[in-house]
Chain A
Amino acid sequence: MPISVRGLIHTYDPDTPFARQVLFGVDLEVGDGEIVGIAGPSRSGKSTLAQYLGGLLRPRQPGMVVIDGIDTGAPDADIAAVRTRVGMVFQFPEDQLFERTVELDVGYAPRLMKMNPADVEARVREALETVGMPFEEFRGRPVHALSGGQKRRVAVAGVLAKGCRTLVLDEPTAGLDPLGREEMLELVASLHRQGLTIVMISNQLEELARMVERLVVLAEGRVAADGPVRRVVSDAALLASTGLRPPGTVAAMQAFAAAGLPVRTDCLTVDEVCDEVARAAGGVRRA
């Protein structure tokens, strides 16, 4: 389900003394089945952009957002359809669970779509199993009694229950402990393997580098880079200008390169680092 953003501009509180422009003409294309990362320092406009991708904000100023062929800025756009097809998961979504039990909360969207109770239950079961929470075990649990990571997975299940094929995740790992973080990343990867289109937002290149194929860097409301993740995260000048820290593996290779070892710096895993250093060092020994 393709998403196309062209020349998107956004101003908060327009026509007030607090007016503040945060997006300055953003262009972005997301194709079916892609997994795209959006990185950027805080306040660069990532969350604002995410809300456009999910159909929650609609362009009023010049600029266009077309989701699955629907121009969300058009007054007569079928916005309900857009919001059913794209699932937007907010930052700290656990604050936004509002029903008493896991089953009720995840079933909120299907009930809203006026499905019959049996279908609702099937949807909830499927969504919960997808996020790794066995239905029978969790259905009756009170939401407030879950752990932080579990609540977050319930929130993901809550939008999956709409039957959406595209997920927009706004900083899904923010504030989780290391274990919760790994579980969340694993969940996102598995959703992508199941064919969902994923847009994942983060300010940690470290985790994006492992997860995505294509990386978009947002800086001060503009797209500063858009390309294969390997190329973007090893672009030292770009990262320095946006204030993002390169992944540890890239930083290590840059240190080797600076020390005179003839290595390429775009290594994304520890294995790649070892291979590359061995190759370069081996070359040195042979010489």
Chain B
Amino acid sequence: MLDDIILGQYVPGDSFLHRLDPRTKMILSALLAVLVFVVHTWTGYALYFAFTAALAAVGRIPPRYLARGMRPMVFFGVITFLFQLVFVREGRAVLDLWILTVTDRGVVEGFFMCFRLLLVVLVVLLFTLTTSAVELAEAVDRLLRPLRRVGVNSYDVGLVLSGAIRFVPTLLEQADKVKKAQMARGVVFEQGNLIERGRKVTAILVPLLLNVVRRADELGMAMEARCYQGGVGRTSRMQLRTGARDWVAAAVSVAWGVMLVWAGL
């Protein structure tokens, strides 16, 4: 289960996606994420999905790996689906269950909401899997630089954001350690009903939190010791460069989006 969380992983490579300017990738991912909320037909979602699948192929992300990363989202997808079933009142009733009426509109909306959720996650994964932490921090810093004038330290924001995303795998590693330690004391995670399993997971959270706080404290001290001051006056070793590649990617994505919207899909 924990193994299936792949947010924060980086799959090294030199594919077209890997070599895009991270700023381009970030802006296009954001646009794609918005687009998913505009699409509202079955064909639209099919085409959208085809596009993300093509992106995965271009980025040389193994489909099985991506599929596995999506597995933890299935639960949330189902919840979203049920939510729409219960709360959408419009449309023709297709099922009457006591005080609950399920409408055809509700079923369709349920599917669409579920697709939206899964597709947004897919786009985010495609971005994070092909962008290294340094690139991510640098991209955010550069994109937010205009906000410096109103007192936002874009360097800090970039560092915090990339740190947070890259921290997920570290956190999972820590969780695994704590879990193993408890197994060594005789806890069996493989057995028990849902409630018992839930209790065991809670028992992991407390030591995990303690470890994390301690690590955060140590990291803070290490940063102080190296005189961290939010990138003031620093130059960057990484030079972001926008090239022909980026214009191609932008043109293709925008054309694709415009087409979907235009066709009313």
Residues in chain A within 8 A of chain B (CB atoms): 13, 15-18, 51, 54, 56, 79-80, 83-84, 87-90, 93, 95-96, 98, 108-109, 112-113, 158-159, 162
Complex A-B, nearest 4 residue pairs according to Cβ-Cβ distance, in ascending order: A96-B181, A98-B207, A88-B184, A109-B185
Chain A: CB-nearest residue to B204 = A98
Per the bound structure, the CA–CA distance linking A95 and B181 in Å amounts to: 9
Q: Give 1 or 0 for each of B54-74: 1 = CB within 8 Å of chain A CB.
A: 000000011011001000000
Is there a chain A Cβ closer than 8 Å to B14's Cβ?
A: no
Other 19 A-B pairs with CB < 8 A, given A15-B64, A112-B185: A16-B6, A16-B62, A17-B62, A17-B65, A51-B180, A54-B184, A79-B188, A79-B190, A83-B184, A84-B186, A87-B184, A90-B180, A90-B184, A98-B182, A98-B210, A113-B186, A159-B184, A162-B185, A162-B186
Query: B64 contacts A83, CB within 8 Å?
Result: no
Per the bound structure, the CA–CA distance linking A17 and B66 in Å amounts to: 11
When distances are taken between beta carbons in the complex, the residues of chain B under 8 Å from A54 are: 184
Per the bound structure, the CA–CA distance linking A159 and B185 in Å amounts to: 6
Query: B68 contacts A16, CB within 8 Å?
Result: yes
A-B contact count (CB 8 A): 60
- Contacts A17-B11, A17-B62, A113-B186: A56 and B180 contacting too (C-beta < 8 A)? yes
Dominant SS at the B interface?
helix
Report 5 cross-chain contacts, Cβ distance below 8 Å, ordered by A residue: A15-B64, A17-B65, A80-B186, A90-B180, A98-B182
Is there a chain A Cβ closer than 8 Å to B178's Cβ?
A: yes
Query: B65 contacts A16, CB within 8 Å?
Result: yes
Residue of A87, A90, A95, A98 ringed by the most chain B CB atoms within 10 A: A98
Q: What's the least CB distance linking A284 to chain B, in Å?
A: 55
Residues in chain B within 8 A of chain A (CB atoms): 3, 6, 9, 11, 61-62, 64-65, 68, 177-178, 180-188, 190-191, 206-207, 210-211
Q: What's the least CB distance linking B180 to chain A, in Å?
A: 5
- Contacts A16-B68, A17-B62, A17-B65: A83 and B183 contacting too (C-beta < 8 A)? yes
Query: B180 contacts A83, CB within 8 Å?
Result: no
Q: What's the least CB distance linking B92 to chain A, in Å?
A: 44
Residue of A16, A93, A109, A113 ringed by the most chain B CB atoms within 10 A: A16
Query: A56 contacts B183, CB within 8 Å?
Result: yes
Query: A80 contacts B188, CB within 8 Å?
Result: yes
Per the bound structure, the CA–CA distance linking A89 and B11 in Å amounts to: 33
Per the bound structure, the CA–CA distance linking A54 and B182 in Å amounts to: 12
Q: What's the least CB distance linking A190 to chain B, in Å?
A: 21
Q: What's the least CB distance linking B169 to chain A, in Å?
A: 10
Per the bound structure, the CA–CA distance linking A128 and B59 in Å amounts to: 56
Per the bound structure, the CA–CA distance linking A18 and B9 in Å amounts to: 10
Query: A56 contacts B206, CB within 8 Å?
Result: no
Residue of B11, B64, B178, B188 ringed by the most chain A CB atoms within 10 A: B188
When distances are taken between beta carbons in the complex, the residues of chain B under 8 Å from A18 are: 9
Q: What's the least CB distance linking B190 to chain A, in Å?
A: 7
Query: B3 contacts A112, CB within 8 Å?
Result: no
Query: A96 contacts B186, CB within 8 Å?
Result: no
Q: What's the least CB distance linking B204 to chain A, in Å?
A: 9
Per the bound structure, the CA–CA distance linking A239 and B122 in Å amounts to: 49
Per the bound structure, the CA–CA distance linking A169 and B211 in Å amounts to: 22
Q: What's the least CB distance linking A89 to chain B, in Å?
A: 7
When distances are taken between beta carbons in the complex, the residues of chain B under 8 Å from A93 are: 181
When distances are taken between beta carbons in the complex, the residues of chain A under 8 Å from B61 are: 17
Which of B62, B191, B207, B211 contacts A80 (CB under 8 A)? B191
When distances are taken between beta carbons in the complex, the residues of chain A under 8 Å from B178 are: 96, 98
Query: A112 contacts B65, CB within 8 Å?
Result: no
When distances are taken between beta carbons in the complex, the residues of chain A under 8 Å from B180 are: 51, 56, 90
Query: A15 contacts B68, CB within 8 Å?
Result: yes
When distances are taken between beta carbons in the complex, the residues of chain B under 8 Å from A158 are: 185
- Contacts A15-B64, A83-B183, A90-B180: A96 and B207 contacting too (C-beta < 8 A)? yes
When distances are taken between beta carbons in the complex, the residues of chain B under 8 Å from A112 are: 185-187
Query: B181 contacts A90, CB within 8 Å?
Result: yes
When distances are taken between beta carbons in the complex, the residues of chain A under 8 Å from B184 are: 54, 56, 83, 87-90, 159
When distances are taken between beta carbons in the complex, the residues of chain A under 8 Å from B186 are: 80, 83-84, 109, 112-113, 162
Per the bound structure, the CA–CA distance linking A113 and B185 in Å amounts to: 10
Q: What's the least CB distance linking A133 to chain B, in Å?
A: 18
When distances are taken between beta carbons in the complex, the residues of chain B under 8 Å from A13 are: 3
Residue of A17, A83, A112 ringed by the most chain B CB atoms within 10 A: A17
Per the bound structure, the CA–CA distance linking A88 and B206 in Å amounts to: 22
When distances are taken between beta carbons in the complex, the residues of chain B under 8 Å from A159 are: 184-185
